[in-house]
Amino acid sequence: MLNKLTALVIALTLGATLFVTEVTAKTFYWVAHGSPADPVWTYFLAGAQQWAADTGNRVNTSFHNGDVAAQQETLRIAIAAGADGIVTSSPDPGSLIQVTEEANELGIPIVNMNTPDPTANFDAYVGGDLIDYGRQWAQYLVDKKLVKTGDFVWLPVEVIGASYGVLEEQGIASVFEPLGITWEITDATLDQGEVITRMVDYMTANYDKVDAIIGLGDLVTGSIKRVFDQCGIAPGEIPVIGWGNSLDTTQEVLLGYVNAAQWQDPQATSYMALTLAAMASSGIPPGFDITTGALYEADKAQIYDDILSGK
Amino acid sequence: MPAFAKRIVSKPEFGPFVLLLAMVLIFWELNPAFLSLRNISNTLAFTVELGLIALAMTLLMTSGEFDLSVGSLFGFSPVLMWTLYNTGVASIEISFAITLATALGIGLISGLFVTRLKIPSFLVTLGMLLVVRGTALYVTNGFPQRTWNAKDLHLAQLLVGDFTVAGLKLHMSLLWFIAAAVLLGILLTRTMTGNWIQASGGNANAARARGVDVNRTKIKLFMLSAAMAGFAGIISSIRTAAANPNSGTGYELEVIAMVVIGGTALTGGRGTIVGTVLGIFILRLMRNGIVLIGVPGLAYNIFIGTIILAMMALHSWLDRRHQEGS
Amino acid sequence: MTALIQMQGISKSYGPVHALEEVDLTVGEHEIIGLLGDNGAGKSTLIKILSGAVPASSGTIAIRGERVSINSTSDAISQGIETIYQDSALVPELSIARNLFLGREPLKGPAFLGWMDQDAMGEVARSLLKEVGIEKDIPPTTPIGSLSGGERQSVAIARAMYFDSELIILDEPTNNLGVAETQGVLRFVRNARDSGHSCIFIAHNIHHVFQVVDRIVVLRHGRVVADDIDPKQTSVEVVERIITGMEE
């Protein structure tokens, strides 16, 4: 009889736990403007998945390859589904003003991650300050005497016109313009193979012109070694700085192809953004943003290499 | 089975209709929010933009041709219009007119290449896709055009202004879509031109032998396709407050899939607007439903591909049964 | 008999190749002409010129004494010359009614709308089907591809007759048909002549030609070598020899 009683108690407890979990498990939507083929987004996604595992909440994820209309549609679907919270990056400055208003009206917390858009009424922003990153990168090159007045800097980017490139360029311009340093942005697409092809073509044609390179995205910066090798450029011959959220780039920094790279802490960004969203959905409004990011050189590169390899 | 039921079942639109019904029921079961007013109005908003392109594509494919440049035109047209307006070159109405005229011109060029130079439309419009997209990127340096101040303009209201009906928020673009669907459906099934379109796709030589100007018919359809893509792009840019030169990438294949799923023959000669409308909703609702029930977005293509294959198999099976029956 | 069609001095060259040289051909009213010749004799070319598919390099065409110029298939059709091809110039997916009226759809309401009078089309289709001898009750909305080859050919000929064509050109119409269907088509050609249409009949099978035509014209190497042969007064073997030139 004791056995039966124990069994009953266990069953009831399990049942209660299940019931409790059902009741407290919330659904969050994690909406990214990027492409699943872009290595950095893999880590952002990993952060989101880790958070889901740790908290027991449900996180629905989606990618949009830069298609603004499709991303807006997905966000509206999340709102219609009565999401407990939404975390989204911004594909285009100003493109999410309407959508955030709709979320605000229904009291659904909506947190901005990765690419900021201050014109939209988000509950909070988690990520780096892209304009500031651009400024830092440009300043790094100037301070280390890697560029001087009259020099030309190449700025490869994956998708022209997307928020991140636009803002980074603003920061870069604020440093280079007064110094009379010129630059050019070219696009490389989101396809790895195509990226290498285009960058090789550009370097082959403009080798004599380029004095330094700033990689405005992870995919392009992560391709530098392959591009340099194919063009016969030695590591360190042309100074490179830029995004560094991938194993490709940490390796490049360790091997000397890239002077310094920006760690955005993609997993932490996702994780913290979701945390803020969950906090807001429980009635605690986040009255602050979270800034992430660190510029690393060869001495610190191994740390990030380990993090990235660990996953 | 009674005769009229047999007729309905053998119609190419029957399969898609059943699929659509099944999808709606399944998604609703999995998440009741699927049929919430908000979700319906959200779906209708984006669906009609692609839908407009699909309607024109139906006619073009019935005549035996493809237009792969529609996605590029979708992105390029609003960029052109908003550049003209934002730089003060022309009023919004004139910019709109110039943009549509440009789209018509591009369609004309595609049509001439296909009919006069006898290059397959697949190749011509592929080239056009690149030219138009490249132009959009080059001219804008990749930067999107601002359209936020659009809401106050009369034209914006006319094209995409929203209004509420019984709690459902709808956009004017829905009305445009319905009008286009009805007009083009009637054109295809009841008019002389529709007869010529089907004949051009079914047996162009026979049509020519009977005195039908096949080339002229096709050129007009290329122009329609281009103009519709431009029109849809403009509507989208106003509604989403974004005129991004990259937008529309990949839309051509999605639109062709919608048309084919609906029952229009890939090889031409047989087209159905009703079927296309079903196809439009099938594809868009699939996306909508997937997000709603939390399937990882990366798996979306698996579903779409499976549906396309299943529909092709179904159409082929129905065709064969129909042949055997007669 | 007054000449319905008079082709004079028709020549056609494709570069150095002379497909036709100074061909004269006359077709009278209510007459069925059989046009025979070996492969490459120029039969198809002559027909293409008459039907507007190809322009002549030189020569004239007159209809009932009046010079005409035929520069396109629609020209030929508007002059009353209809051509029945091997594949009948039919669109398999289109219905019988739509095929019949392809290019000449009867309209109702304001012309610019192009609204087809499908009721009228259906009625005419039904009666033509009966004329052509198709007993089964096939709705005119049936795709024409579901009719047999012979039935399709007959419908094509009925179409030519319905539109009051003066001259019906039949280019190898019995090529892919079975025995019974061939007889059906030949019968129909005779009917056409009896109802006031003239015909030019081209076939590889001389026996078919013999069964139907009033007069035989033979081409060889782009020239007319005989144009007055009465099938009732000669034999297949004789004509064969003329075609191959063994008579010389």
pLDDT 10s digits, A168-210: 999 999 999 999 999 999 988 888 888 998 999 999 999 999 9
- Closest-CA residue of chain C to B209: C73
Which one of A156-165, B296-305, C52-61, C236-245 scores highest in mean pLDDT? C52-61
**Candidates B62, B63, B192, B200, partner chain C, best to mutate (most C CBs within 10 A):** B192
For the four alpha carbons of B12, B44, B47 and B84, in that order, the dihedral sign comes to positive
Q: Do chains C and A touch (3 or more CB pairs under 8 A)?
A: no
Asked if residue A223 has pLDDT above 90, the reply is: yes
Chain segment C118-168, per-residue pLDDT in tens:
999 999 988 888 777 776 778 888 888 888 877 888 788 888 878 878 898
CA distance C179 to B204: 30
Asked if residue A284 has pLDDT above 50, the reply is: yes
CA distance B305 to B293: 19
- The per-residue pLDDT of chain B, averaged, comes to 88
Calculate how close chain A gets to B173, using CA atoms only, in Å. Answer: 15
Which of B192, B206, B265 is the closest to C91 by Cβ?
B206
C80 Ramachandran zone, left/alpha/beta (phi>0; psi -120 to 50): left
The single residue listed with the structure tokens 């991140």 is A164
Domains present along chain A, CATH in parentheses: 2-127+266-291 (3.40.50.2300), 130-263 (3.40.50.2300)
Provide the chain B residues 125-184 that lie in CB contact (below 8 A) with chain A.
137, 140-144, 146, 148
Of C44 and B299, the structure prediction assigns the larger pLDDT to: C44
Provide the number of CB pairs (under 8 Å) joining chain B to chain C: 80
Chain segment A93-140, per-residue pLDDT in tens:
788 999 999 999 999 999 999 888 889 999 999 998 888 999 999 999
CATH node for C3-93+143-244: 3.40.50.300
Confidence band, pLDDT 50/70/90 cuts, at residue C109: confident
Determine the pLDDT at residue B267: 86
Determine the pLDDT at residue B198: 96
Quick check: C159 and C128 in contact, CB under 8 A? yes
- Closest-CA residue of chain C to B210: C103
Calculate how close chain B gets to C209, using CA atoms only, in Å. Answer: 24
CA distance A42 to C70: 69
Angstrom distances, CA of residue B141 to CA of A104, A161, A168, A217, B133: 34, 7, 15, 17, 12
SS3 state of residue A273: helix
Determine the pLDDT at residue C53: 84
Asked if residue A144 has pLDDT above 90, the reply is: yes
Specify the number of domains making up chain B.
Answer: 1
Of B326 and C89, the structure prediction assigns the larger pLDDT to: C89
Calculate how close chain B gets to C156, using CA atoms only, in Å. Answer: 11
Distance in angstroms between the alpha carbons of the first and the last residue of chain A: 49
Residue A38 phi, psi (nearest 5): -85, 120
Integer Rg of chain C from CA: 19
Which one of B32-36, B62-66, C104-108 scores highest in mean pLDDT? B62-66
The token duo for C77 is: 């059709």
Of A13 and A147, the structure prediction assigns the larger pLDDT to: A147
Determine the pLDDT at residue B326: 46
Count Cβ neighbours within 10 Å for each residue of C130-149 and write b for 16 or more, e otherwise.
ebbebeeebebeebbbbbeb
CA distance B256 to B266: 9
Determine the pLDDT at residue A265: 86
Q: Which of A61, A260, A93, A266 is nearest to A166 (CA)?
A: A93
What average pLDDT does this structure show over A61-74?
A: 90
SS3 state of residue A214: strand
Asked if residue B124 has pLDDT above 70, the reply is: yes
C118 interaction partners in chain B (CB closer than 8 Å) = 190
Residue C182 phi, psi (nearest 5): -60, -45
What average pLDDT does this structure show over B122-145?
A: 87
The token duo for A70 is: 């499709």
Which of B36, B140, B246 is the closest to A80 by Cβ?
B36
Confidence band, pLDDT 50/70/90 cuts, at residue B324: low
Q: Which of A39, A74, A211, C214 is nearest to B290 (CA)?
A: A74
Determine the pLDDT at residue A263: 92
Determine the pLDDT at residue B218: 97
- Residue B197 at interface with chain C, using a CB cutoff of 8 Å: no
**Contact call for B137 and A160, based on CB within 8 A:** yes
Q: Which residues contact B104 (CB under 8 A, 6 or more apart)?
A: B223, B226, B227
CATH of the domain at B293: 1.10.3470
Angstrom distances, CA of residue C25 to CA of A38, C7, C83: 75, 5, 17
Chain segment A225-273, per-residue pLDDT in tens:
999 998 999 999 999 999 998 889 999 999 999 999 999 888 899 999 9
Q: Partners for B (CB, 8 Å, 3+ pairs)?
A: A, C
- Closest-CA residue of chain A to B148: A94
Q: Which of A84, A51, A83 is nearest to A282 (CA)?
A: A84
Determine the pLDDT at residue A37: 73
Calculate how close chain A gets to B297, using CA atoms only, in Å. Answer: 4
**Contact call for C73 and B210, based on CB within 8 A:** yes
A159 interaction partners in chain B (CB closer than 8 Å) = 142, 246
Which of C103, C107, C146 is the closest to B211 by Cβ?
C103
Determine the pLDDT at residue A21: 43
The token duo for B284 is: 């868009």
Question: What residues make up the domain containing B43?
Answer: 3-325
B46 interaction partners in chain A (CB closer than 8 Å) = 69-70, 73
Confidence band, pLDDT 50/70/90 cuts, at residue C52: confident
Confidence band, pLDDT 50/70/90 cuts, at residue B304: confident
Asked if residue C100 has pLDDT above 80, the reply is: yes
The token duo for B213 is: 């100007």
CA distance B273 to B277: 6
Q: Partners for A (CB, 8 Å, 3+ pairs)?
A: B
CA distance B202 to B163: 43
Return the domain boundaries, chain C.
3-93+143-244, 94-142
